[in-house]
Structure 1
Amino acid sequence: MNMKKLILKYCLQNAVFYGGKANPKAVLGKVLAERPELRGKVSEVGKEIEEAVKKVNTMSLDEQKRELEKIAPELMVKEEKEEKDLPEIPKAEKGKVITRFAPAPTGPLHISHVLRAVTINYLYAKKYKGRFFVRIDDTDPATAEEEFYDMILEDLEALNIKPDKVFIQSGRMERYYKYAEEMIRKGLFYVCFCRAEKFRELKLKKKECECRESSGVREWKEMLKGNYKEGEAVVRMKTSMKEENPVLRDPPMLRISEHPHPRKGKKYKVWPLYNYASVIDDHEMGITHIFRGKEHENNTRIQERVYMYMGWKTPMVINFGMIHLPGMKLHKRDIKEMIRSGKFSGWDDIRLHTVRALLRRGFVPEALEKTAIQCGLSKSDIRFTWEILEGHNRKIIDSRANRYMVVIEPVRISIQNAPETEKVEIDLHPSFPERGKKTVPVNTEKVFVSKEDFEKFKGKEVRLKGMGNVKLGKTAEYTGNKIKREMQKIQWVSEPNVRVEILTPEKTLTGLGEPEMKKLKTGEIIQMERTGFGRVDGVKEKVTVCFAHK
């Protein structure tokens, strides 16, 4: 096989396996592996590869597949690496593992939740045929918001994650009070009246406050009656102020909040803090394994001490590294303000990284799950790239998505000397002819191609997919219907057509689509030929599609 054919087959293979775009470096590696004698001509080979990659990358993914099947069908089968699975974990017995996901109702679920806390906890419960609980952590009245209780559960349902039980922490207040009073009576907790600044100083100096030995059940009862204001009293765990780890020096367990709670109003004023409530709940709910980010390691140390004081067995805690998302990070408070001001349309605005925004764009739950598994349980931080999620998503939806032609910024042309025809019929999906065909009307006086294609290929012979070959221009000349391997294929529409709006995170694209798109239903995932995959967002006077990826 000559060098050009060798390069072409590996360009096509690389493009087919990786979303329609060949990578020159990957192709070079394959070529040199098969023909080691070319190592002395790397510069020349590199130039040939660059040319071949340019040509292959102008083809659609379906065209690449057909061409590869023609010249090297043996390369169509990818050497699959063994599907990555979650590793075994310590102290896990079949049927006895219970995990939990404990979000605060301060916003809907975000991709960071999915790639770590949600999916990992859920999948390990499934792996060991155990149970998975969701616990809404709403013990901070100042930050909990009513709308997010349901949003979180809706997001989980949309991800096909079904909890065995759902708990709301604010419904368990009497349990927290019961154990707190027991600990105070035993002298293991105490009511502290030190101002926050004063206690910080004592903590740094490793000195005990005078409240440790003088405040007990009476002061606790006064707290419950509402006789102290916010900031005046806090319940602390009595450890040692000389602990080497500062976080263990008499950490707070419960505090006063006068902010009305979204569900309990002003019924309670003394609220448990995270490290205290988590221990009570994890113990009473039988949680066996806790998966959390390594930034919680200090919280784990505090909770271990609470378990020890309570005389309870500590669950298995497994910490994982943080996931760093590309681009600017927006805090929930900033997003809320931008939604209020109209800069974002809502929590499903496709510029956001929320679960509902990603699903609206056409990312599917299976792809999010596979990405989470790939991220795994490593304690090392991970720099996430969207290509990882897009690759999994593309692999899943490619066979599901029917193909439609859309032209962006349409340029009208007419075609001379074309055979008389009113329509052409094209397979909805080239790999699944059994799905049927779509009818694309033809009016040779009114054909539309994208502005980008018109400017790039003007004066050159191109193939209008499914119709025939033309020399492109405002008045294009029909040149026949023979399919030529090297000829660029472009999408087109004629009349009648339908207006199409493509919403991308960066901008909104407008164009025209084939009329069959009017039959699409909201929620369908499609591939727009040579443009990319997307999810239908609405079909009215125009078809609106949220763009997912190439």
Structure 2
Amino acid sequence: MSLDKSLLEKVRNVAYKHALLNAYKHGGKADLKAVISKIIAEIPESRGLIKDLIGVAKNIVDEVNKMSFEEQYRVLAENYPEALEEKIVEQERKLQPLPNATRGKVVTRFAPNPDYTIHLGNARPALLSYWYAREYEGRFILRFEDTDPRTKSPYPEAYEMIKNDLKWLGIDWDEEYIQSMRLPIFYSIVKELIQRGGAYVDKCSDKEFKKYRLLGKGCPHRSRSVDDNLEEFDKVISGYYSEGEVVIRIKTDMAHPDPSVRDWVGMRIIDTSKNPHPVVGSKYILWPTYNLACGIDDHLMGVTHVLRAREHLSNTVKQKYLYDHMGWKYPETIHFGRLSLEGVILSKSKMRDMVLKQGLKPYDDPRFGTLSGLRRRGVVRETIWEIVRQVGIKHIDARISFVNLASINRVRIDPISKRYMAVEEPLKIRFKLDNDVEAHVIRHPSTNEKFTYRFKAGEIELYVSSRDYDTIVKTGYFRLYGFANLKIIGETHHGLSKTLVCEVTGFSHEEAVFKKLPIIQWVKPDEAVEVELFTPKETKLVVSRLLGERALLERRVNDIVQLIRIGFARIDDVCGDSVKMIYAHD
């Protein structure tokens, strides 16, 4: 006994759907056993014909696995959109326990430098520190580390931009500090540090000190008395010395195997008349380095657990000397690997250079890997959450491809993105209707929302994409999405433009699926609107000009839509009869 014709077609259709869906879920490769089990579950009567069933399923799985991932998704979305509407189940990844943590007493912090806004890599310590603080019912601190007005000059607007990005991530904080407004506190601590014999005023030039450091010997100023150092420190604060003449060094081990640890610089003079600070102007000239300001504030603010990148390992070593001098207990410190994203620009210097040379918006250009840039590109915060949950506090570096990010983002935006048609390089088609006909374009398969186009009997002209020309001419047949099945019967030319002359063969979607007809999008010439689609490609922003459905004008800025057979895009601007969109991904 073998599969009869009607059952065979039913099995093929179900196998095709589940092979596509299985491939979509597993990186482009469908599993034969999984597909067979789905067929049997959906068509119980096929169980007794397992040999024939395996043969049919294997052929279809092989066919699907030869497709690219993008083609698999496109065919699945066009023919079986309901299969993509599975409910998203958030798999909350449990945070690893913090070492030596007491519920109600954990204090974490996120301490960005406002010399630019934050990117995906910064989102990791921000989210992890916030999640741990809430998990342990503790406190979470936001601290702006802005004590280098010369080489890492803060952007005045970056303070608010960072706060907006954190709010978008779903982060709220219990306390907020700006280090540039705390300089008198740092002066007081350094004075005490000198009194304890843990710091000194060094008048050696950089070149001179490097010689001593490489030899593992202290410079002549290291052994000066506490009183002499206190007197010199007061002179520094009063403005007696100029930039480059003196620094305040923290005493460490001059024989330490890492030369950078040996008597590191804790404070230095910065001429703020030439490099005014955006918050405090030129009020101060003596500024703490990162390690001094960070180390002091972590103690004064009661931080119990520090979560930061592995590149800070040497800073942890340096700061522990400060804590030993002051008799403080150093926080528990967790160092994790770098988190980077391929396919976007993450370098602050490169972003700044592009902003200056190309006149770009400084923070949210969709080519940038900043959170605001990703958001403008249609990436939702739940995607960032999932990526950070996946990498957690692992010590190794994590490099995320944009394809992986898109895969995570697609699952989250697909259920909320309405479908619209748009065509690139419009190609005119002409056919005749014998009767009045309605075309139903599904806006979203989960809600069954539709938009209805009504056509009167007679000659019809529509636009399709020129990129579909080769495919539909090769097959000779195609289906207009939500409308009619057509056969090409001729072609006319007017100068450089051409028109495909067609005839209607039917209106059944099932027939088109059965015959595996190409299903293409279209627009009505009298109801089309101009669409500018901006696609980020590394350092370039490629602009495509399309014609889209007029209903796109009803969308609001920041809405994410799916352009059928093109991909997901975020509405960037709606003006008059035109729409600007940023391409997200397929």
Number of the residue aligned with 1:446: 461
Matched, 1:173 2:189: no
Q: 451-460 or 440-449, which moves further after superposition?
A: 440-449
Please give the alpha-carbon distance, in whole angstroms, between the structure 2 residues aligned to 1:389 and 1:452. 27
CA RMSD of aligned residues (A): 3.2
Query: For 1:362, what is the secondary structure of its paired residue?
Result: coil
Task: Compute the displacement of 1:99 (Å).
Answer: 1.1
Matched, 1:500 2:531: yes
The aligned amino acid for 1:439 is: T
Matched, 1:517 2:517: no
Residue of structure 1 aligned with 2:107, choices 91, 98, 101: 98
Please give the alpha-carbon distance, in whole angstroms, between the structure 2 residues aligned to 1:299 and 1:478. 73
Number of the residue aligned with 1:73: none
Task: Compute the displacement of 1:171 (Å).
Answer: 0.8
The aligned amino acid for 1:455 is: D
Matched, 1:61 2:77: yes
Number of the residue aligned with 2:249: 236
Query: For 1:374, what is the secondary structure of its paired residue?
Result: helix
Q: Deviations 1:123-173 (Å, cap 9, x if unpaired)? A: 222222222211111100112221212221122222222222221001111
The 3 A distance-change label for structure 1 pair 525 and 455 is same
Task: Compute the displacement of 1:340 (Å).
Answer: 2.1
The aligned amino acid for 2:31 is: V
Aligned counterparts, 1:45-444, within 5 A: 48-50=63-65, 58-61=74-77, 63-66=79-82, 82-114=91-123, 116-142=124-150, 143-214=153-224, 215-258=228-271, 259-327=275-343, 331-342=347-358, 344-417=360-433, 419-421=435-437, 424-433=439-448, 436-440=449-453, 442=455
Number of the residue aligned with 2:579: 543
Please tell me whether the aligned partners of residues 202 and 221 of structure 2 are also in contact (alpha carbons under 8 angstroms).
Answer: yes
Task: Compute the displacement of 1:440 (Å).
Answer: 3.5
Query: For 1:286, what is the secondary structure of its paired residue?
Result: coil
Q: 7-16 or 386-395, which moves further after superposition?
A: 7-16
The 3 A distance-change label for structure 1 pair 82 and 345 is closer
> Structure 2: any 5+ residue segments left out of the alignment?
39-49, 491-499
Please give the alpha-carbon distance, in whole angstroms, between the structure 2 residues aligned to 1:144 and 1:18. 47
Please give the alpha-carbon distance, in whole angstroms, between the structure 2 residues aligned to 1:137 and 1:491. 52
Length-normalised TM-score, structure 2: 0.84
The aligned amino acid for 2:128 is: I
Query: For 1:428, what is the secondary structure of its paired residue?
Result: strand
Matched, 1:533 2:559: no
Q: Deviations 1:315-356 (Å, cap 9, x if unpaired)? A: 110000112432475532332232122263442111111111
Q: 46-55 or 272-281, which moves further after superposition?
A: 46-55
Length-normalised TM-score, structure 1: 0.89
Please give the alpha-carbon distance, in whole angstroms, between the structure 2 residues aligned to 1:293 and 1:4. 56
> Structure 1: any 5+ residue segments left out of the alignment?
70-75
Please tell me whether the aligned partners of residues 440 and 483 of structure 2 are also in contact (alpha carbons under 8 angstroms).
Answer: no
Query: For 1:501, what is the secondary structure of its paired residue?
Result: strand
The aligned amino acid for 1:264 is: V
Aligned counterparts, 1:462-501, within 5 A: 462-472=478-488, 474-483=500-509, 484=511, 485=513, 486-494=516-524, 495-501=526-532
Please give the alpha-carbon distance, in whole angstroms, between the structure 2 residues aligned to 1:460 and 1:512. 24
Please give the alpha-carbon distance, in whole angstroms, between the structure 1 residues aligned to 2:237 and 2:218. 25
Task: Compute the displacement of 1:487 (Å).
Answer: 2.6
Q: 299-308 or 51-60, which moves further after superposition?
A: 51-60
Please give the alpha-carbon distance, in whole angstroms, between the structure 2 residues aligned to 1:437 and 1:188. 74
Please tell me whether the aligned partners of residues 561 and 570 of structure 2 are also in contact (alpha carbons under 8 angstroms).
Answer: yes
Please tell me whether the aligned partners of residues 253 and 276 of structure 1 are also in contact (alpha carbons under 8 angstroms).
Answer: yes
Aligned counterparts, 1:9-24, within 5 A: 12-13=17-18, 15-16=20-21, 23=28
Query: For 1:383, what is the secondary structure of its paired residue?
Result: strand
Please give the alpha-carbon distance, in whole angstroms, between the structure 1 residues aligned to 2:304 and 2:387. 25
Task: Compute the displacement of 1:284 (Å).
Answer: 1.4
Query: For 2:584, what is the secondary structure of its paired residue?
Result: strand
Task: Compute the displacement of 1:202 (Å).
Answer: 0.8
Please give the alpha-carbon distance, in whole angstroms, between the structure 2 residues aligned to 1:385 and 1:498. 34
Please give the alpha-carbon distance, in whole angstroms, between the structure 2 residues aligned to 1:137 and 1:117. 15
Q: Across the two proteins, how many residue pairs are aligned to each other? A: 538
The 3 A distance-change label for structure 1 pair 330 and 110 is closer
Number of the residue aligned with 1:72: none
Task: Compute the displacement of 1:28 (Å).
Answer: 5.5
Q: Percent identity?
A: 34
Task: Compute the displacement of 1:268 (Å).
Answer: 0.6
Q: Deviations 1:191-244 (Å, cap 9, x if unpaired)? A: 011111111111111011110122510100110011111111111112231223
Residue of structure 1 aligned with 2:31, choices 17, 27, 35: 27
Please give the alpha-carbon distance, in whole angstroms, between the structure 2 residues aligned to 1:468 and 1:20. 31
Please give the alpha-carbon distance, in whole angstroms, between the structure 2 residues aligned to 1:401 and 1:537. 15
Query: For 1:198, what is the secondary structure of its paired residue?
Result: helix
Task: Compute the displacement of 1:185 (Å).
Answer: 1.6
Task: Compute the displacement of 1:290 (Å).
Answer: 0.6
The aligned amino acid for 1:479 is: T
Please tell me whether the aligned partners of residues 156 and 278 of structure 2 are also in contact (alpha carbons under 8 angstroms).
Answer: yes
Please tell me whether the aligned partners of residues 14 and 21 of structure 1 are also in contact (alpha carbons under 8 angstroms).
Answer: no
Please give the alpha-carbon distance, in whole angstroms, between the structure 2 residues aligned to 1:39 and 1:297. 56
Please tell me whether the aligned partners of residues 341 and 400 of structure 2 are also in contact (alpha carbons under 8 angstroms).
Answer: yes
Query: For 2:31, what is the secondary structure of its paired residue?
Result: helix
Aligned counterparts, 1:455-466, within 5 A: 455-458=470-473, 460-466=476-482
Query: For 2:427, what is the secondary structure of its paired residue?
Result: strand
The aligned amino acid for 1:448 is: Y
Please tell me whether the aligned partners of residues 424 and 466 of structure 2 are also in contact (alpha carbons under 8 angstroms).
Answer: yes
The 3 A distance-change label for structure 1 pair 136 and 322 is same
The 3 A distance-change label for structure 1 pair 92 and 113 is same
